[in-house]
Chain A
Amino acid sequence: QVLFFGFGWLFFMRKLFKDYEVRQYVVQVIFSVTFAFSCTMFELIIFEILGVLNSSSRYFHWKLNLCVILLILVFMVPFYIGYFVVSNIRLLHRQKLLFACVLWLTFMYFFWKLGDPFPILSPKHGILSIEQLISRVGVIGVTLMALLSGFGAVNCPYTYMSYFLRNVTDADILALERRLLQTMDMIVSKKKRIAVAHRTMFQRGEVHNKPTGFWGMIKSVTTSVPGSENLSLIQQEVDALEELSRQLFLETADLHATKERIEYSKTFQGKYFNFMGYFFSIYCVWKIFMATINIVFDRVGKTDPVTRGIEITVNYLGIQFDVKFWSQHISFILVGIIIVTSIRGLLITLTKFFYAISSSKSSNVIVLLLAQIMGMYFVSSVLLIRMSMPPEYRTIITEVLGELQFNFYHRWFDVIFLVSALSSILFLYLAHKQAPEKHMAL
């Protein structure tokens, strides 16, 4: 446990906060704690399969872990988010705590409302039981997971496969850079004219403020300073040119990135990744296909893919091996791989996301949001992993998590996954179409 905590701490310090100082240590602590507990959950799953600890002690650990995580996710993190958001808005500085509580209450309210349209409530349990909380957290988490994985499933083959890479030559880049510099030069020369005009006006003692007030407006109608009209025209041209320069800059950066990727794909590592890209794309397509089938035929997988795969091989290929023995090991390996890749993928995505939108003010809030997302992601992935494991291991999870409608979750996941995959395909297709056209117009 301590190991994971330390790891979470390290990760936080190194990656996320490379450029900013950490003000509040509370944020750091919370993030690391969330990370640590999420990892212990996975650890427990692995122990499940390996059968390391005693069954009852495992059960106890599960319960404990779940309680703590839920506590953090539902109570502390939103509270701190509210607190930091409020402290960013300078107006409400006085009654920080009060407003934070108000925000937190609204959050709890929405959280509750979320549970209504879904078939989750069962009359047997009380209001504040663990099952209720888990169910709601699970819903949000599953939605999130499905969105992310849908997008990732489509994005992954797109970025990895060099089939999609457009051909960029050095001459293209140079031409674009030249255009960029020319634009900058034009901006500079125009600004020089404006500056010179301002200076001469200033030296002549004229007041070149924009005329304000009623009398000023009338004055400006009758006597128009000859220089100022030209100036505003030039200023408009400058604005347009600046916009153009920004576009050119972004395009150049894009071209550089593409060229780099082309070079990278020629190296050995690049080829390896390329191959993996093909493999992944097949996997992603298969997943999308399966999701469609699941929805269309309204079927929920009872047996996990590993056992089924082994059964198929046994039946079709006539190879005799001990189903139970192999299934255990293979499922363990698969689950391990899934866990590791999903953690890694999540951390990388979060880092990129964090860099893209962070600033000094809101960094605290963003970190907390990320911690929340991460926690929900992990909880829901535990739910979904159940599907990939053979039935003898499912029992303990079913036991611990109480009576949740697992089938519902799987359906919901498939639906959202499909939706997000389709929309991201559409999006990428549009983006891909647009870029070569822009390129041709140069």
Chain B
Amino acid sequence: MAALDRVKVLVLGDSGVGKSSLVHLLCHNQVLGNPSWTVGCSVDVRIHDYKEGTPEEKTYYIELWDVGGSVGSATSVKSTRAVFYNLLNGIILVHDLTNKKSSQNLYRWTLEALNRDAAPTGVLVTNGDYDREQFADNQIPLLVIGTKLDQIPETKRNEVLTRTAFLAEDFNAEEINLDCTNPRYLAAGSSNAVKLSRFFDKVIEKRYFLRDGNQIPGFSERKRFGGGTLKSLHYD
């Protein structure tokens, strides 16, 4: 059982949006009792059944790497963080529904994570301007999650939800809005849970199944192939 295949998903977002609570909820199905400020990076593991309910069902480990810090940190912190962006297969972008700026910062987060991946020399592109073309050929699946839904009064909910829908469209990603202190939102069978599971399936597909549907065998070859697959998809 320990020899399951793995995928690596980054959880990015500003300080205090609720990434640690979210990761804890996703992995343990329990609410995090005392959230505290994440220093560095904390990893958690979720076991996911790919294509559940079909004869091709297979279990995978999904590693959720929760990276702390803000997008405006010093360059030294950014280059230290860049160490974690290696070989990533999916990104979950977390923003706070009560704080508009955290959703605007998501663009810069994605650029930071993706640029690190595309430039093997480790040079960070530091202009944070949003350019849709850069996201157009992005092969890494994204998921946008908005937290603290319970703190928005009913009257404002509609406009907030439309705004986040635009945001998710920009990233060409699905979006989920929830409240990390309430496991009800991710209960099995709810639409949120379906979206989440679809996202994980997509990540696993992009990672292990090439476009022509061949599965990459072998555990030791995976490390070399991981970067290679992504690059070949870029050059296509």
The answer to the question of A242 belonging to the interface, with a C-beta cut-off of 8 Å to chain B, is: yes
The answer to the question of B75 belonging to the interface, with a C-beta cut-off of 8 Å to chain A, is: yes
Binds A, one of B37-45, B199-207, B213-221: B37-45
The answer to the question of B198 belonging to the interface, with a C-beta cut-off of 8 Å to chain A, is: no
Q: Which residues on the A side are within 8 Å of B175 (C-beta)?
A: none
Q: Which residues on the B side are within 8 Å of A188 (C-beta)?
A: 43, 45, 63
> How far in angstroms is the closest Cβ of chain B from A104?
29
A interface bracket (residues with beta carbon within 8 Å of B): 20 to 34
Residues 45-91 of B at the A interface (beta carbon under 8 Å): 45-47, 61, 63, 65, 70, 72, 74-77, 79-80, 83-84, 86
Would A360 and B16 count as touching, CB distance under 8 A? yes
CB within 8 A of B46: which of A187, A193, A195?
A195
Would A192 and B39 count as touching, CB distance under 8 A? no
The answer to the question of A410 belonging to the interface, with a C-beta cut-off of 8 Å to chain B, is: no
Binds A, one of B94-102, B112-120, B127-135: B94-102
Given A184-B41, A191-B45, A249-B39, A196-B1 contact (CB < 8 Å): yes
Interface of A is mostly: helix
Would B83 and A253 count as touching, CB distance under 8 A? no
Q: Which residues on the A side are within 8 Å of B79 (C-beta)?
A: 256
Interface membership of chain A positions 12-25, coded 1 if the CB is closer than 8 angstroms to chain B and 0 otherwise: 00000011110000
Interface of B is mostly: mixed
19 contacts across the A-B interface (CB closer than 8 A) = A18-B101, A19-B15, A19-B70, A19-B72, A19-B101, A19-B105, A20-B99, A184-B65, A191-B43, A199-B47, A242-B42, A245-B40, A246-B40, A249-B80, A252-B80, A256-B79, A257-B76, A260-B75, A360-B98
The answer to the question of A71 belonging to the interface, with a C-beta cut-off of 8 Å to chain B, is: no
The answer to the question of B2 belonging to the interface, with a C-beta cut-off of 8 Å to chain A, is: yes
Would B1 and A360 count as touching, CB distance under 8 A? no
Would A21 and B41 count as touching, CB distance under 8 A? no
The answer to the question of B14 belonging to the interface, with a C-beta cut-off of 8 Å to chain A, is: yes
Closest to B83 in A: A177
Would B44 and A191 count as touching, CB distance under 8 A? yes
A199 to B2 CA separation, bound complex (whole angstroms)? 12
CB within 8 A of A184: which of B2, B43, B70?
B43
The answer to the question of A145 belonging to the interface, with a C-beta cut-off of 8 Å to chain B, is: no
Would A195 and B45 count as touching, CB distance under 8 A? yes
Residues 243-263 of A at the B interface (beta carbon under 8 Å): 245-246, 248-250, 252-254, 256-257, 259-260
The answer to the question of B173 belonging to the interface, with a C-beta cut-off of 8 Å to chain A, is: no
Interface membership of chain A positions 185-228, coded 1 if the CB is closer than 8 angstroms to chain B and 0 otherwise: 00111011111100110000000000000000000000000000
Would A193 and B2 count as touching, CB distance under 8 A? yes
Q: Which residues on the A side are within 8 Å of B101 (C-beta)?
A: 18-21
The answer to the question of B27 belonging to the interface, with a C-beta cut-off of 8 Å to chain A, is: yes
A398 to B143 CA separation, bound complex (whole angstroms)? 66
Would A253 and B76 count as touching, CB distance under 8 A? yes
- In the complex, which of the residues B27, B45, B80, B102 has the most CB atoms of chain A within 10 Å of its own CB atom? B80
The answer to the question of A154 belonging to the interface, with a C-beta cut-off of 8 Å to chain B, is: no
Q: Which residues on the A side are within 8 Å of B76 (C-beta)?
A: 253-254, 256-257, 259-260
- Number of A-B pairs, beta carbon distance below 8 Å: 82
A188 to B64 CA separation, bound complex (whole angstroms)? 10
Would A192 and B45 count as touching, CB distance under 8 A? yes
Would A181 and B72 count as touching, CB distance under 8 A? no
A222 to B2 CA separation, bound complex (whole angstroms)? 30
Would A18 and B72 count as touching, CB distance under 8 A? yes
Q: Which residues on the A side are within 8 Å of B65 (C-beta)?
A: 184
Would B2 and A246 count as touching, CB distance under 8 A? no
Q: Which residues on the A side are within 8 Å of B14 (C-beta)?
A: 19
Q: Which residues on the A side are within 8 Å of B44 (C-beta)?
A: 191
Q: Which residues on the B side are within 8 Å of A21 (C-beta)?
A: 99-101
> How far in angstroms is the closest Cβ of chain B from A180?
6
Would B39 and A257 count as touching, CB distance under 8 A? no
Known: A246-B39, A359-B15, A360-B96. 9 other contacts (CB 8 A): A21-B101, A180-B83, A181-B86, A188-B43, A193-B2, A196-B47, A245-B40, A256-B76, A360-B99
Would A257 and B2 count as touching, CB distance under 8 A? no
Would B47 and A253 count as touching, CB distance under 8 A? no
Would B27 and A195 count as touching, CB distance under 8 A? yes
CB within 8 A of A250: which of B1, B40, B42, B45?
B40
